[in-house]
């Protein structure tokens, strides 16, 4: 299952150097075999999309519009370079929730009020967050914001000025977080059914019930993973069809 990395940042008002950094960020995401997700907007996130596309990566946009016309005309947003655009019809603020929740990792580059909202959602929901330092905007003040927020949510933030180094760290930490989550969600139940304990019909029934619960948990986890993989497959198929 490929990792979904969201890039959230400035649409305008950023310094020229940030554009090249965002482009390299997109390349790094593709080179780590991850999928880039943005708000399907112009600016730094779109620079990252261009970088990912040039490196052969898959790109997904989460649009505020209801359809292609609204996306391109009302919101004056780009469509070229995206393998898939998801039309939420939720508006600029509403689509932020869909965008953030679709990602395993959220990366901030530059950013103003919109990016601040996306950071707040990601932080409050305990996401793994990357911050590209030196790109201006709120990205250079996240450490201060975290101190002011003073709230433990389970979110983990990694800072770096080098986009490639940042993505490398994020991918490694994300893998570790997944493993820890699986271990937490799935603690095998081994029934205590030694000859000393399983002497009665009731104790044997208890042991059987424990094993049945374990099987149900495994089936539930497998079903959730299947849904995620099927969703990724559908996105991949849409991307192929769009290119075809």
Q: What is the pLDDT of residues 3-62, one digit of tens each?
A: 999 999 999 888 889 999 999 999 999 999 999 999 999 999 999 999 999 999 999 999
- The domain of 207 spans 186-243
Shared domain check, 191 and 162:
no
Q: What is the pLDDT of residue 13?
A: 81
Domain count, the chain: 2
At 95-116, the pLDDT tens digits run 999 999 999 999 999 999 999 9
Residue 2 CA neighbour count, 13 Å, CB half:
22
In the block, which residue shows the tokens 């089936």? Answer: 219
Task: Give φ, ψ of 49 to 5 degrees.
Answer: -60, -45
Shared domain check, 98 and 38:
yes
Shared domain check, 206 and 164:
no
Shared domain check, 33 and 116:
yes
Determine the straight-line distance between the first and last CA of the chain, rounded to whole angstroms: 24
At 162-171, the pLDDT tens digits run 999 999 999 9
Shared domain check, 197 and 174:
no
Strand order in the sheet with 105-109: 84-87, 58-63, 35-38, 4-9, 105-109, 128-132, 156-160
Shared domain check, 153 and 39:
yes
Q: For residues 130 and 39, what is the distance between their CA atoms, to the nearest angstrom? A: 17
Shared domain check, 225 and 128:
no
- Count of CB atoms situated within 10 Å of the CB of 209: 12
Total residue count of the chain as it appears in this document: 244
Mean pLDDT, all residues of the chain: 86
Shared domain check, 190 and 158:
no
Q: pTM for the whole thing?
A: 0.75
CATH number of the domain residue 106 falls in:
3.40.50.450
Residue 224 CA neighbour count, 13 Å, CB half:
7
Using the predicted structure, report yes or no on whether residue 192 has a pLDDT greater than 60.
no
Shared domain check, 169 and 49:
yes
Q: How far is CA 212 from the centre of its chain?
A: 34
Residue 244: band (very low, low, confident or very high) from pLDDT cuts 50, 70, 90: very low
Q: What is the pLDDT of residue 182?
A: 65
Sorted by sequence, the CB contacts under 8 Å of residue 54 that are 6+ apart come out as: 26, 27
Q: For residues 132 and 109, what is the distance between their CA atoms, to the nearest angstrom? A: 5
């Amino acid at each position: 299952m490929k990792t979904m990395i969201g890039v959230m940042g400035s649409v305008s008002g950023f310094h020229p150097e940030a554009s090249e950094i965002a482009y390299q960020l997109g390349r790094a995401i593709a080179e780590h075999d991850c999928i880039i997700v943005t708000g399907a907007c112009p600016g730094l996130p779109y620079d990252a999309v261009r970088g990912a596309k040039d490196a052969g990566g898959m790109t997904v946009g989460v649009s505020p519009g209801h359809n292609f016309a609204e996306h391109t005309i009302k919101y004056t947003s780009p469509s070229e370079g995206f393998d898939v655009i998801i039309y939420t019809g939720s508006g600029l603020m509403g689509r932020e929730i869909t965008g953030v929740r679709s990602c395993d990792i959220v990366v901030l580059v530059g950013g103003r009020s919109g990016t601040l909202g996306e950071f707040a959602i990601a932080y409050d929901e305990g996401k793994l967050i990357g911050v590209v330092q030196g790109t201006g905007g709120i990205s250079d003040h996240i450490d201060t914001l975290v101190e002011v927020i003073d709230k433990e949510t389970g979110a983990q933030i990694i800072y770096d000025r080098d986009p490639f180094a940042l993505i490398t760290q994020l991918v490694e930490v994300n893998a570790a977080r997944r493993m820890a989550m699986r271990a937490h969600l799935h603690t095998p139940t081994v029934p205590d059914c030694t000859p000393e304990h399983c002497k009665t019909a009731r104790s044997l029934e208890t042991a059987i019930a424990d094993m049945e619960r374990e099987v149900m948990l495994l089936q539930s986890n497998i079903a959730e993973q299947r849904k995620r993989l099927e969703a990724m497959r559908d996105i991949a198929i849409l991307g192929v069809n769009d290119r075809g």
